[in-house]
């Protein structure tokens, strides 16, 4: 006699979603006390900590977390000359963690991000919401006015083509921030006291053909689907620009997702962003980006990829060529960046040989 399961609800609640298929990547220069607040949500998962700055500094990780930690010496040792593509003294270094992970999914979060509350006062399990976002399809080809149609209590509205209701695989889930909004230096300077207090209870797909400013503070993605496009560029030490690492990754990722028919969602979950970075320091890092983006964005809006670009790697190499050709004229920095994009893919492929099964990694480095 076949018996139905009786305790599935209890079981789903006890086993954290994707426990063995997701790594949490955290770039940092300090002790990771912020993890205490995340303990109930993050403790079951494996952490990849990318230590930026002085490698001799000891980063303390609260007890009980399963992690591996890489400092600059580790990066140089593992990548050799290809380590040049990984930024130093900038949180862009986090993308090294994406490369060494062997899991299917990555969640990355900044160490000044804490657990936010929903309007009912309940602590938001940001990771759980990201996983929900990424495991359900996206709707990049037509806008649904009731937002994510796969969410409980929602559906596709009248006039939504039935042929599109299966959606597209979701490659990226972009979460938002309560308290300190992700503003650029000029806006920070003009509105020093502005806080984001509006909880918008929505997840939506960014339509095909539309670019968006992707923030790396609270971000989840599918490494298998889009990982090699999540390169955070050359920022920080020795570079003329900072704070555009996640933007760069977002533009490249969105163009490639659009080409490959993958979805990008934004909205829930919120984290609580505790502290605004210094706007004067930010302005110094950003000012070239502020005028470069006026040329970079039209470049990405116009970028098209040939049909034979059927893998993320092929798309990314093609994009690097277009960057060199079209943005090289804007500043020699983009020549260097285009080369680094190629190095990044070479390093990615070295660490992630084709056909290698996603391994469950554990233990400390």
Stretch that binds its own copies, among 100-108, 244-252, 305-313, 350-358 (CB under 8 A): 244-252
Written as six digits, the tokens of 229 are 């496009």
- Of the candidates 47, 124, 211, 340, which one interacts with its own copies according to CB under 8 A? 211
For residue 308, how many C-alpha atoms fall within 13 Å in the half-sphere facing its CB?
Answer: 2
Contact 92, 49 (CB under 8 A): no
Among 32, 75, 116, 247, binds its own copies (CB under 8 A): 247
Assigned token pair, 245 = 């690492």
Residue 177 and residue 113 in contact, taking contact as beta carbons nearer than 8 Å: yes
Whether residue 246 contacts residue 219, with contact meaning beta carbons closer than 8 Å, is answered with yes
Binding residue (CB under 8 A) for its own copies from 50, 106, 180, 215 = 215
To the nearest whole angstrom, how small is the minimum distance from the Cβ of residue 164 to its own copies? 8
| Least Å from the CB of residue 290 to its own copies | 7
Nearer to its own copies among residue 208 and residue 326 (C-beta): 208
For 114, 117, 298, the CA distances from 199, given in Å and listed in that order, are 16, 9, 31
In the shown chain, the binding pattern of residues 166 to 205 toward its own copies, with x for contact by CB under 8 A and - for none, equals --------x-x----xxxx-xx---x--xxxxxxxxx-x-
Phi-psi domain of 148 (left: phi exceeds 0; alpha: psi -120 through 50; beta: other) = beta
Asked if 287 interacts with its own copies (CB under 8 A), we say: no
142 sits near its own copies (criterion: CB under 8 A): yes
Q: Does 330 bind its own copies (CB under 8 A)?
A: no
In three-state secondary structure terms, 19 is coil
CA proximity to 105, closest of 24, 38, 167, 165 = 24
The reply on whether position 11 binds its own copies by CB under 8 A is no
Q: Is 243 in the site for its own copies (CB under 8 A)?
A: yes
Q: Does residue number 294 form part of the binding site for its own copies (CB under 8 A)?
A: yes
Interacting span for its own copies (CB under 8 A) from 34-42, 76-84, 146-154, 227-235: 146-154
Q: How far is CA 266 from CA 154, 175, 331, in A?
A: 17, 6, 31
Please list, in sequence order, all residues whose beta carbon lies within 8 angstroms of the beta carbon of residue 97, skipping any fewer than 6 positions away. 23, 25, 26, 27, 48, 49, 50, 70, 106, 108
Of 154, 317, 342, 358, the residue at the interface with its own copies (CB under 8 A) is 154
Are the C-beta atoms of residues 47 and 67 closer than 8 Å to each other? yes
The distance of closest approach from Cβ of residue 53 to its own copies in the complex, given in angstroms and rounded to an integer, is: 22
The answer to the question of residue 280 lying near its own copies (CB under 8 A) is: no
Q: Which residues contact 123 (CB under 8 A, 6 or more apart)?
A: 115, 116, 117
Complex with its own copies: residue 145 or 311, whichever CB lies closer: 145
CB closer to its own copies out of 215 and 319: 215
User: Nearest distance from residue 195's CB to its own copies, in Å?
Assistant: 8
* N- to C-terminal Cα separation, the chain: 48
Task: Find the shortest distance in angstroms from Cβ 224 to its own copies.
Answer: 25
Query: DSSP string of 29-51?
Result: SS--TTHHHHHHHHTTSEEEEEE
Residues that bind its own copies (CB under 8 A): 119, 142-147, 153-163, 174, 176, 181-184, 186-187, 191, 194-202, 204, 206-215, 243-244, 246-247, 250, 266, 286, 290, 293-294, 297
């Amino acid at each position: 006699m076949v018996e139905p399961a009786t305790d599935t609800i209890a079981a789903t609640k006890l086993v954290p979603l994707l426990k063995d298929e997701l790594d949490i990547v955290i770039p940092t220069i300090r002790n990771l006390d912020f993890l205490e607040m995340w303990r109930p949500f993050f403790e079951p998962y494996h952490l990849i900590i990318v230590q930026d700055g002085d490698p001799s500094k000891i980063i303390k990780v609260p007890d009980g977390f399963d992690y591996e930690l890489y400092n600059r010496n580790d990066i140089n040792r593992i990548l050799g000359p290809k380590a040049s593509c990984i930024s130093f003294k900038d949180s862009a270094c986090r993308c090294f963690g994406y490369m060494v992970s062997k899991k299917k999914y990555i969640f990355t979060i900044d160490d000044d991000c804490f657990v936010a509350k929903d309007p009912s006062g309940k602590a938001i399990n940001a990771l759980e919401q990201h996983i929900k976002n990424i495991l359900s399809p996206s709707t990049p080809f037509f806008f649904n006015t009731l937002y994510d149609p796969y969410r409980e209590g929602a559906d596709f509205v009248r006039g939504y083509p039935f042929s599109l209701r299966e959606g597209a695989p979701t490659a990226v889930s972009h979460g938002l921030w309560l308290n300190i909004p992700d503003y650029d230096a000029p806006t920070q300077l003009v509105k020093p006291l502005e806080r984001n207090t509006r909880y918008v209870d929505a997840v939506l797909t960014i339509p095909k053909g539309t670019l968006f400013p992707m923030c790396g503070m609270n971000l989840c993605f599918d490494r298998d689907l889009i990982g090699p496009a999540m390169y955070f560029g050359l920022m920080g030490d020795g570079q003329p620009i900072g704070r555009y690492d996640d933007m760069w990754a977002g533009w490249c990722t969105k163009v490639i997702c659009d080409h490959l028919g993958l979805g990008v969602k934004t909205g829930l979950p919120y984290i609580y962003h505790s502290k605004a970075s210094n706007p004067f320091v930010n302005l110094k890092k950003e000012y070239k980006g502020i005028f470069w983006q006026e040329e970079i964005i039209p470049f990405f809006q116009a970028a098209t990829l040939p049909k034979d670009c059927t893998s993320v790697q092929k798309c990314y190499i093609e994009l690097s060529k277009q960057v060199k050709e079209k943005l090289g004229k804007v500043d020699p920095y983009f020549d260097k960046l285009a080369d680094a994009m190629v190095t990044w893919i070479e390093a990615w492929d070295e660490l992630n040989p084709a056909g290698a099964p996603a391994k469950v990694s554990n233990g400390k480095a």
